[in-house]
């Protein structure tokens, strides 16, 4: 067991343990052995069991807002439900983040993996609650019984079944997406529950197998290439441009972790049959590795990195911000992630770099007439994108203020500074 713990992160172990239950669910649904209500119960009970196993008694921090949100959806008017849901859920999540930081820094406690799993799942729960609340507010979903009669008069308005409370609880806690995975809207979740076809599920299982294979490959590659225990030591002791390689290699190790876990999360969803009605694999994935590693646009990297979360932030913040939507989106992302100093600095730097990226590439498209110049610009901006995103990733991941200052006062800070200088220079060039 100890060797498995060294090879796989505990979250991955819990996800792998849930695969047999997901495959069984897919099999029973394909052959019509589970009525709709039993499907909700299966997913809900599985989520409760998985939460208790992975989080222990900290699971109460997840169950409390789940029950509160369910009551809220069925008692508050659709006119204001999205505001109340957002306020209450973010307040609860912020309190949990501050509680963890208080224990970590004031009492100097070593935070257990169960706490981290709980906080991560709570962040995913915030996505689901706010997404469903916006659907209710926009009249895409009806929950209150008094709205059912009215909704029948409106063509195309989605109706919840009679077991709406069970459906909401199942959506918020269904086990294939409890510990990770792309964000499904409630309408998509309902579609997966109600429309279960054998040929779609066979395709889902095959896709899950491919994702699992790629997960093992990436996890193995990271284990071979990197010794994660030496990263902080190298960053503290590197000299001059050596720090650039240390930063890039450390960020690559982090990215391999994210890629492999995103693939495993998606594989678990697919193994449970959650893919029907999806037009293509890329529409249902957070791990478009090819685009992330080949793009020369920081803005494209931001839109593709954890794609479902990026789409959620766009819908929740960017499209509803009257002033400075880009800055507001990244500021909220820092709040949602936990408000560590590195996260605040990292996301604010990311917002500035995305803004600079838009303006710089607009100027480059004007002055780059020759195909050779355009190719050179693409190579240079790709390299710059790699280094800036590595800088941002390390700032976000290194929550320790000492490590953040070490990063800022190294040669690595020249990469974002270069983009700022280039932005000022480009603004002086007239088209």
Q: What is the pLDDT of residues 213-240, one digit of tens each?
A: 898 888 888 888 775 544 545 777 778 8
Q: Can you tell me the mean pLDDT for 185-199?
A: 78
Separation of alpha carbons 7 and 317, rounded Å: 38
pLDDT tens digits along 45-72: 999 999 999 999 999 999 999 999 999 9
pLDDT bin (cut points 50, 70, 90) of residue 161 is very low
Give the chain's mean pLDDT: 84
- Annotated active-site residue 337? The verdict is yes
Catalytic residue among 82, 97, 219, 337: 337
Structural contact between residues 276 and 190, judged by C-beta atoms closer than 8 angstroms: no
Catalytic residue among 97, 261, 296, 306: 306
- The contacts of residue 71 (CB under 8 Å, 6+ apart) are none
Q: Can you tell me the mean pLDDT for 355-380?
A: 83
The larger pLDDT score, comparing residue 226 to residue 98, is at: 98
| Token pair listed for 339 | 């408000």
pLDDT bin (cut points 50, 70, 90) of residue 283 is low
The larger pLDDT score, comparing residue 159 to residue 57, is at: 57
Q: Can you tell me the mean pLDDT for 120-138?
A: 94
- State the DSSP H helix or E strand holding residue 158, giving kind and residue range, or none if neither: strand 158-159
Would the pLDDT of 347 be above 50?
Answer: yes
pLDDT of residue 202: 66
Of residues 260, 194, 263, the one with CA closest to residue 226: 260
Q: Can you tell me the mean pLDDT for 154-162?
A: 44
pTM for the full predicted model: 0.89
| C-alpha triplet 315, 316, 318: angle, nearest 5° | 70
Separation of alpha carbons 171 and 140, rounded Å: 16
Q: Can you tell me the mean pLDDT for 102-107?
A: 84
- The contacts of residue 285 (CB under 8 Å, 6+ apart) are 182, 262, 266, 307
pLDDT of residue 197: 62
């Amino acid at each position: 067991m100890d060797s498995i713990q060294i090879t796989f992160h505990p979250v991955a172990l819990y996800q792998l343990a849930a695969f047999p239950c997901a495959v069984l669910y897919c099999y029973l649904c394909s052959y019509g052995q589970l009525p709709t209500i039993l499907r909700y119960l299966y997913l809900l009970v599985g989520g409760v069991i998985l939460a208790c196993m992975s989080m222990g008694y900290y699971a109460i921090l997840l169950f409390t807002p789940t029950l509160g949100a369910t009551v809220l959806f069925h008692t508050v008017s659709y006119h204001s439900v999205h505001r109340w849901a957002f306020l209450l859920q973010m307040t609860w999540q912020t309190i949990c983040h501050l509680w963890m930081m208080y224990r970590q820094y004031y009492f100097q406690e070593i935070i257990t993996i169960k706490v981290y799993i709980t906080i991560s799942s709570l962040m995913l729960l915030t996505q689901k609650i706010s997404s469903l609340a916006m659907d209710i507010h926009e009249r895409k979903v009806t929950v209150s019984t008094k709205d059912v009669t009215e909704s029948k008069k409106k063509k195309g308005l989605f109706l919840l079944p009679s077991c709406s409370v069970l459906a909401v609880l199942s959506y918020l806690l269904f086990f294939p997406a409890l510990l990770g995975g792309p964000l499904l809207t409630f309408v998509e979740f309902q579609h997966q529950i109600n429309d279960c076809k054998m040929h779609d599920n066979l395709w889902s299982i095959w896709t899950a197998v491919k994702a699992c294979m790629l997960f093992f490959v990436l996890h193995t590659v990271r284990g071979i290439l990197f010794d994660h225990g030496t990263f902080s030591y190298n960053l503290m002791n590197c000299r001059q441009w050596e720090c650039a390689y240390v930063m890039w290699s450390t960020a690559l190790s982090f990215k391999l972790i994210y890629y492999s876990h995103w693939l495993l999360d998606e594989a678990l969803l697919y193994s449970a049959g959650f893919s029907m009605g999806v037009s293509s694999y890329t529409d249902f994935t957070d791990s478009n590795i090819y685009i992330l590693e080949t793009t020369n646009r920081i803005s494209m990297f931001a839109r593709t990195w954890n794609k479902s979360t990026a789409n959620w932030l766009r819908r929740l913040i960017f499209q509803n911000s009257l002033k400075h939507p880009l800055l507001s989106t990244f500021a909220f992302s820092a709040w949602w992630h936990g408000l560590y100093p590195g996260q605040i600095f990292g996301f604010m730097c990311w917002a500035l770099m995305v803004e600079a990226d838009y303006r710089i590439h607009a100027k480059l498209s004007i002055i780059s007439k020759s195909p050779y110049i355009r190719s050179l610009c693409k190579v240079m901006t790709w390299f710059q994108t790699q280094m800036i995103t590595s800088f941002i990733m390390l700032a976000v991941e290194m929550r320790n203020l000492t490590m953040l200052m070490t990063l800022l006062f190294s040669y690595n800070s020249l990469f974002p500074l270069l983009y700022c200088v280039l932005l000022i220079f480009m603004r002086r060039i007239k088209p």
